[in-house]
Structures are given as structure tokens and as C-alpha cells.
Amino acid sequence: MTFELNPTAASLLGFLHDGPMSGWDLVVRAEERIGEFWSLTQSQVYRELARMAQEGLVEAGEPGTRARKVYAISDEGRDAFVEWVRRPPGNENIRFPLLLTLAFGQHVPDPMLASFISRHRIIHHDRLANYERQRAEMPSDYEDVDPYAVATLEFGITYERAVLQWFDQLPRRLTDLRDE
Amino acid sequence: MTFELNPTAASLLGFLHDGPMSGWDLVVRAEERIGEFWSLTQSQVYRELARMAQEGLVEAGEPGTRARKVYAISDEGRDAFVEWVRRPPGNENIRFPLLLTLAFGQHVPDPMLASFISRHRIIHHDRLANYERQRAEMPSDYEDVDPYAVATLEFGITYERAVLQWFDQLPRRLTDLRDE
DNA sequence: TGGTACATGTAACATGTTACATGATTAG
DNA sequence: CTAATCATGTAACATGTTACATGTACCA
């Protein structure tokens, strides 16, 4: 009976397969690679690393400058990770505050709602541009590209396109900014 | 300075505008109306109701059968709700465990990955069918339809279609079930 | 009339969030 | 050389999850 990992901790172990890293390194890498569909905070990363070190899933190297500790995955960590990653994944969980506000839109003046919507549309537009840039920058020679990273990036692109499409078919009344 | 609501509690207040309801009623209604993009559990509902009762945002009627308590929104509750719903909504937060597993797909045998993917594809397919049925059942006379509910339902449809489209463009290797 | 599902709730715990503290590095 | 930012971490608290306990209604 191996240690029970949560998805956040497990992801850290996943990244540590590429070599030892500090908490900060992991935060940055997680943001790049899974931030699109798995949010985590810097503070969680440090906590999970500390816990996993206690359990022997990772090993901390000697503190360097700024008390920087570099963590390496252990054999126990590899075992726990493989066990985790081969379990049937749970259902997805979306929390989209804009839609909550919209669902109760009758309590919000329409122009205010329109301004909320327009701000979020920009965010999604920018994210899509970012993902598309990433895809464009990938080596066209598919030998060098991790097919799993491609698949998740494709998800981001498909998702953001759909969201924009949804924005663009909202009734004019909900997107008209005249008074705000 | 009104009481600081979280989105989950605020939603309960939103629903209580339609009339007094019990915790159970609220769980059911939330699932129907916002479950698509805002998950909550039964146990949270009871906790938030208890807290809001303490703060005077809702008032509990006399316990009925099974200790059933029906909550009504108070004037303070209405004020707090309006304040909440008119704030700029935060960014959305997606947690999609399947994508996490896929991101670390190199550690999973392909047929196993394919079986995870196929199971999730079914879930999304069914959800889409359900949303489309709901839309079809709406009175074609738009007078009677809450335009905000239509907008959020459209989101669900757009989202699920996009997810299916994404599933269908995955490389065959990730969707081929031959060995599992 | 006994079993199953419904409805209500509580408690313990895990996870997520926000705010802060502190030294190290870098840019001007 | 000093102010801003980077990197590390901790602590307190809020929220989310899971498991359990208990009575009620329904139905075969």
C-alpha cells in the first residue's frame, strides 16, 4: 500500500522524472505544461514537496543559496507515481465565475454584464493567441515533439476557440457596452 | 461592510429569490441550473446555509418532518447577494484529470490510455445529448424562457461539442482499444 | 412489514487561497 | 549602493471532500 497521492503532488513527481528541481522550478514548469487545465499555487507546491520528502517519495539535496532545496524523485516516488497515473482519471471540474454571474444576470444591469463579458472575452482571445503561437513554434519535424504535449495543447486551442465562438453568439443585449 | 460571500453561498441566495427552499431543494436546483460550470456538494450547501443563517442572510422556518428546515432569504441576504453578483467575476478554473493523465501519457501503456479516453468520451457525449434535449424542450415561444439560462445552456453545448471534436482528432494511437 | 432509497445533517480531514516574512540577486 | 524583483518558505484560514449517522417515506 503506497502513499496516497493527490493529482497536484503526483504532477510534481511527474515533472521530477526530467531531473531534480526546486519548488520554484516546479511552479514554473507546472504553469507552462499543465496550467491550462490544472491550477496550482506556489504555496501548495512547497507543502506537497515537504510532505513527499517526509514520506520518502522525494529527496531534498543540500540547501543552496536562499535556502534553495533541489528535490529528486526516489524509487518509492516513481512507484507511487506510476500507480497514480495508471488509475482511471476522475471527471473534470469547471468553475467559471463569469457563467455564475451570467446565470444570475437578471440581478445585474445589462451594460455591467456586458463589460464583464467583454473583459473575459479578451482574456480568452489572448490565451488562444498564446496557444497558437506555441503550436506554431513547435518543430515541424514531429520526431522531436512529445505527442502528449501536443494533445493537451490541442485541447487548449479547441477549448478557447469554442469559448470565443460562444461569446460571439451571445445576444447583442448581453454584449452591448453602450452605457458602461 | 456586508458579509463576504463566496460564490457557492451566493448562488444559494440567488436561488432563494425564487422562494423558500430546503437544503435538499437547493442541491437539486443547483445541480440543474449551474452544475454544468459550478460544482458543489450537498454537505457544502448545509454548511453555507447554517453560516448564512447565523449571519442573518437567510432565515430558517420551523423544522418540519425529518428535521427539514426551509430557508428564506432576508433583506440582508438580498443586499449581500446584489453586492456579490455585481462584482467583476474571477477567472475560470478547469481541473481535468484526464488531461493530467494524458500529459504524463508516456508513463501509461497506450491501450490503457485509450480506455481512459474512451470512457470520458462517452461521458461528454451523453452530457451533450442531455443539454441538447434540454434545449429542444424549451418553449419555442421565447417569452417564457430566461435568456440567461439559455446563454449558460449554450455554453454547455458549445463546450461539450468542442471536447468531442478534440477527442475525435486525437491520434489513432491514443484512441485505439485493441489490446485493452 | 421489511427493505431500499430519500432527505437531513455532522464531523474529520484534505486541499486551496491569501497574506506575510525574509534573504538574494539584479538593474539602474 | 539601493530599490525592485526573485525565490524561498510559513501560517492562518476558507473551501471542498468523504464518510458516517439517523430518521422518513415509499414500494414490493
Coil, strand or helix at A93: strand
Distance, CA of A146 to CA of A148 (rounded, Å) = 5
- pLDDT score of A108 more than 90: yes
How many C-alpha atoms does B71 have within 13 Å on its Cβ side? 29
Query: Is the CB of residue A101 inside 7 Å of nucleic acid strand C?
Result: no
C24 C1' to A24 CA distance, Å: 14
Chain B neighbors of A89, CB-CB under 8 A: 97-98, 100-101, 116, 120
Q: Which residue of B has its CA nearest to A92?
A: B96
Quick check: B107 and A81 CB within 8 A?
A: yes
Res. A86: pLDDT tops 70: yes
Digit-coded pLDDT (tens) for A125-161: 999 999 999 999 888 776 668 899 999 999 999 999 9
What is this structure's pTM? 0.92
Written as one string, the DSSP assignment of B87-108 is: SPP---EEE-HHHHHHHTGGGS
Cβ of B154 within 8 Å of Cβ of A166? The answer is yes
Question: For residues A157 and A132, what is the distance between their CA atoms, to the nearest angstrom?
Answer: 7
Distance CA A81, CA A151 (A): 21
pLDDT at position B101 is 97
Angle between helices A75-85 and A7-16 (to 10 degrees): 120
Asked whether the beta carbons of B22 and B30 are under 8 A apart, the reply is no
Task: Tell me the C-alpha distance between A37 and A131, whole Å.
Answer: 13
Segment-wise mean pLDDT, segments of 10 residues, chain B, 180 residues: 86 96 94 93 95 93 74 96 96 94 96 95 95 89 82 96 97 77
pLDDT confidence band for A180 (50 / 70 / 90): very low
Residue nearest to nucleotide C18 (CA to C1'): A43
Return mean pLDDT, chain A: 91
User: Does residue A66 reach within 7 angstroms of strand D, measured from its CB?
Assistant: yes
| Residues 6+ away with beta carbon under 8 Å from A83 | A2, A5
CA-to-C1' span, B102 to D2 (A): 48
**Do residues B48 and B27 touch, judged by C-beta distance below 8 A?**
no
